[in-house]
Structures are given as structure tokens and as C-alpha cells.
Amino acid sequence: MLGQMNRIYGITDKPLVIAHRGGGDEHPENSIVAFRAAYQAGFRYIETDAHATSDGIAVLSHDPMLDRTTDGSGLISAHTWKEITQVHDESGNCLVRVDDVLAEFPDVVFNIDAKEDNVAMPLVDAIRRTHAQTHVCVASFSEKRLDRIRYAMPTLTTSLGVTATARMVIATHVANPLRGQLLRAVPGPADGAQAVQVPLVSRHIPVLTQKFVQIAHAHQLAVHAWTINDLDQADLLVSWGVDGIITDQPTAMRAHLAQA
């Protein structure tokens, strides 16, 4: 059980607009230009991704490889931070260090996906150095990776991994007492988990449904949907009671939801 825990994500009637990769359809994804533009436009919730260099520096990139989004090539994990500084992304800048972006935007909530096992501790170290645990949520598909991060920083907010999310999906199809047994194995606020962040469908299996939202809320978890760029789809999700829309087009999404 945790002691004092800052509540970053809550259950709300007005869903958050969370800029996916800093708003990847509006500016080069996960670039300092995207983060600064999102901030200047008033967005205070940003989703991003982290990998680690060979010398243990956590940097923001969705891909493990440099090739798609920079003029470099190869695995990030095969390069030192000094080597990474010589690589330029589509905005003309080098990849962003996690500690640098957390220090520059202390009033932004960053939702950071720890993409690989080797980034877990560099990410925790970056959060510690910047005293940013009150405005960071760490996500990962891997429940084991999340458990390792929770153990290292017990007051840090996290979301759920695939295993816990799968238990919640199964719980939507069964009755008590089996539902209760499933949910007892799902981390909640007492464990540092404040949100479950899911797609509508995964591998042709429906994940996000109205029943899923109801069960998550009963478990005191906020529900964030990704990656939603279709406005009609967003309207449906809002009617189900989702608490956040993770989108590549935050400006258009915010304007649309403001009219609802």
C-alpha cells in the first residue's frame, strides 16, 4: 500500500485531450518543437515514449530505431548520448532527453511509455533528478516492467500493462464472483495505478466498451482511449464516459469537444 499519492488522472465528466507523441500530426512526433508547440497552444497533458542510450540516458522516441524519424540509423540502445546529439529529427533537433523535457515543462503531465526493459531505470533516474514524480505517469505494455518501476519509485503514477488490461476485458464478460477475483489481481490507486489506457480493438478483439469503462471506474481507474483522431468516434467514447482522448490531432479534438 502506498502513502501519499498525487492524483494525476481522475474520473471526470470532461475528458482530457492528451497530445499523442506531442501531437504527431501537427508537428514532428516526439520532438522538442512538438512539445513546445503543444505547450504554447495550452495543452498540459502530453503522451510520449522513451528508450535508453547505451550509456543509460532516457530519450524520447517511439521507435527503438533511429531510421524512421531521424537522419541517423540503428538502435538507440546501440548509441551513446554523445552520438545521439549528432543525429537530427524531422524538426532539425536531436532527440530529447527525458530529464530535459521534464525540467522545461514542470506544469505539464507527461504520460511516458517505457518501451523496453533497459529504459526502466534510466527513466526512473530522470524523473528523480527533476523531482517530476508529481507530474509523470509511466505506461508500458509490460506488467513486469511496470512492477519494476513501481518498486523503484512507489509514489510514481502508472497505468496498466497488457496482462492487467486483459483481466479487465475478461471481467466485462463474466459475473461475480469471478469478476471480483479477476479485478483483485488488477493494480489500482493503492498500487500507484491511476489509469488504464487502451485502444478500441486489439487483434480483432473489442477492448474498450461502455462496460469496460464502468468496471474501470468502479476500480477507481480513469480510462483513456488511444489513438483517436476520428471526431465521431470521440463523441461515442465521450458518451461512454471515457476520461481522456489520446490523439495525434489535439487542436482539432479540443475544438470539437469544446462544442459538445
Q: Is residue 177 part of a domain?
A: yes
CB atoms within 10 A of CB 14: 10
Q: Is residue 11 part of a domain?
A: no
Element (H, E) at 258: helix 250-259
Please tell me the predicted confidence (pLDDT) of residue 226.
98
Q: Is residue 8 part of a domain?
A: no
At 193, which CATH number? 3.20.20.190
pLDDT above 90 covers a percentage of the chain that reads: 96
Q: Is residue 6 part of a domain?
A: no
Q: What is the largest CA-CA distance in the chain?
A: 57
What residue numbers bound the domain in which 54 lies?
A: 16-259
Q: Would the CA dihedral through 153, 108, 246, 125 be positive or negative?
A: negative
- Chain segment 195-227, per-residue pLDDT in tens: 999 999 999 999 999 999 999 999 999 999 999
Cell of 210: 461502455
Q: How far apart are CA 255 and CA 26, in angstroms?
A: 14
Q: Please report where in the chains the cell 517505457 appears, as a residue.
A: 114
Q: How far apart are CA 203 and CA 217, in angstroms?
A: 24
Nearest CA to 114 out of 165, 58, 70, 154 is that of: 58
The total domain count for the chain is 1
Q: Is residue 1 part of a domain?
A: no
Q: Is residue 97 part of a domain?
A: yes
- Chain segment 60-112, per-residue pLDDT in tens: 999 999 999 999 999 999 999 999 999 999 999 999 999 999 999 999 999 99
| pLDDT band with cut points at 50, 70 and 90 for residue 5 | low
Q: Would the CA dihedral through 180, 183, 189, 194 be positive or negative?
A: negative
Q: Is residue 10 part of a domain?
A: no
**DSSP annotation of 69:** T
